């Protein structure tokens, strides 16, 4: 089977496995048992492609090794690093990933793509200017009732296809490759128990990015703010002058977050506050807010704004209790990758060898690589080819998946040549 046929066949198989993670689960890892369905499937497939040291540990991490294949002359001349390739098995918990029905739009002619079970929200060129680049290609979507799962099952399919290609073509040189498939990335815990030392790579790459040719070496610095509000509950018929409604205070708190500083109104390197979950009742309410900036100074600035809102509400209603708890999520991986420039430039060289102009970009989000960088494993992020992640309007061109495999193959050659 050629690269195109194999990567598509794998991808279509993986997206049909429901692997949603679940936020807020503290008593087990991974957060959902169903993620292990795909993990166990990958263990068997890794064995089938001839990988060594295939295992799944107690936390659901799947790891494997493809031994190096290096010409004897090169091997004697340079030390060849061990390269890691990683992708995550879980999908975004807020949009269903159950019973995914992938649809292939063959020979995409341009224009909008209608989703059979979400006809009111077609994938439109004005919202997706990248569509113009894929006229004549085949594009995969869901039927609109679920997300597709290209984030990150495209990355998994591309890594698995690479291993298959390298194993079946002994003429293709490559370093020792360590593979890792992680759970719970979408809820910020993808590397919570990942043993970087045991993984044993000198450099690594996550396959978790978007458009073709992107090499992402920067992420947000990320914190999560929990705003806990306590009110006073009494019977509403006799509440005048007595009730302190935590629900109304929560709504007031959210309304005071500036509209120009939320995800819906920001792009590029702009910071944001993202209140994405509100729970509670009259007695107590909780707001969960993502705090995102490319610098730690930016984080402090936005957290100071949350504190100002807290004080404003207490001035308005001093009988309430309002506390803000800040939890660190991850930091900008560029702080580490700037000390390992070759890990990024070699990826750019691989992109060039595949006929693309590399685009070094910053991620408006995070990947497993952000934490891995700070655990001693420099790990930039490469394109897996998909668009509109976390959405029922998710789509991925087959040509972009093929190109991702070709970039990985070229990257392995670069490491053999340069050591």
Residues forming the active site: 90, 185
CA–CA dist 121, 124 (Å, integer): 8
Burial state string for 251-282 with b = 16 or more CB within 10 A and e = fewer than 16: ebbbeebeeeeeeeebeeeebbbbbeebebeb
| 357 three-class SS | coil
| 178 three-class SS | strand
Q: In the numeric block, which tokens belong to residue 329?
A: 């999520």
Return all residues near 378 (Cβ < 8 A) that are at least 6 apart. 203, 204, 336, 337, 339, 340, 343, 372
Q: How many CA atoms lie within 13 A of 148 on its CB side?
A: 27
Residue 340 burial class via C-beta count within 10 angstroms: exposed 0-12, middle 13-18, buried 19 and up: middle
Q: In the numeric block, which tokens belong to residue 173?
A: 């040189």
Widest distance between CA atoms in the chain = 88
């Amino acid at each position: 089977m050629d690269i195109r046929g194999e990567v598509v066949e794998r991808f279509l198989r993986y997206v049909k496995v429901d692997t949603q993670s679940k936020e807020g689960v503290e008593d087990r890892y991974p957060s959902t048992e169903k993620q292990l369905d795909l993990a166990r499937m990958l263990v068997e497939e890794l064995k089938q492609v001839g990988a060594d040291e295939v295992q799944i540990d107690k936390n659901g991490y799947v790891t494997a090794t493809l031994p190096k294949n290096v010409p004897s002359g090169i091997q004697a001349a340079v030390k060849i690093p061990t390269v890691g390739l990683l992708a995550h098995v879980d999908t975004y918990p807020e949009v269903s990933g159950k019973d995914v029905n992938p649809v292939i739009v063959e020979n995409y002619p341009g224009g909008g793509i209608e989703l059979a079970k979400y006809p009111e929200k077609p994938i439109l060129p004005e919202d997706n200017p990248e569509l113009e680049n894929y006229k004549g290609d085949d594009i995969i979507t869901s039927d609109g009732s679920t997300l597709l799962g290209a984030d990150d099952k495209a990355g998994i399919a591309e890594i698995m296809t690479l291993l298959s290609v390298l194993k079946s073509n002994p003429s293709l040189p490559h370093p020792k490759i360590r593979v890792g498939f992680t759970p719970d990335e979408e809820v910020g815990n993808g590397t919570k128990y990942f043993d970087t030392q045991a993984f044993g790579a000198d450099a690594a790459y996550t396959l978790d990015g978007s458009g073709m040719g992107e090499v992402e070496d920067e992420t947000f610095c990320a914190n999560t703010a929990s705003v806990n509000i306590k009110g006073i509950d009494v019977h509403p018929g006799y509440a005048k002058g007595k009730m302190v409604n935590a629900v109304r205070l929560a709504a007031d708190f959210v309304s005071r977050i500036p509209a120009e500083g939320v995800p819906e109104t920001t792009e590029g390197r702009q910071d944001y506050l993202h209140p994405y979950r509100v729970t509670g009742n009259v007695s107590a309410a909780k707001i969960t807010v993502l705090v995102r900036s490319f610098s730690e100074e930016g984080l402090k600035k936005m957290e100071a704004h949350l504190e100002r809102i807290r004080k404003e509400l207490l001035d308005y209603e001093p009988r309430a209790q309002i506390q803000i708890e800040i939890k660190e999520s991850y930091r900008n991986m560029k702080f580490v990758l700037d000390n390992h420039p070759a890990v990024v430039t070699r990826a750019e060289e691989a992109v060039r060898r595949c006929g693309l102009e590399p685009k070094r970009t910053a991620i408006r989000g995070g990947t497993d690589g952000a934490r891995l960088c700070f655990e001693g494993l420099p790990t930039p992020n490469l394109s897996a080819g998909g668009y509109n992640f976390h959405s029922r309007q998710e789509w991925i061109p087959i040509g972009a998946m093929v190109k991702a495999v070709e970039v990985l193959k070229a990257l392995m050659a670069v490491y053999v040549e340069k050591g």
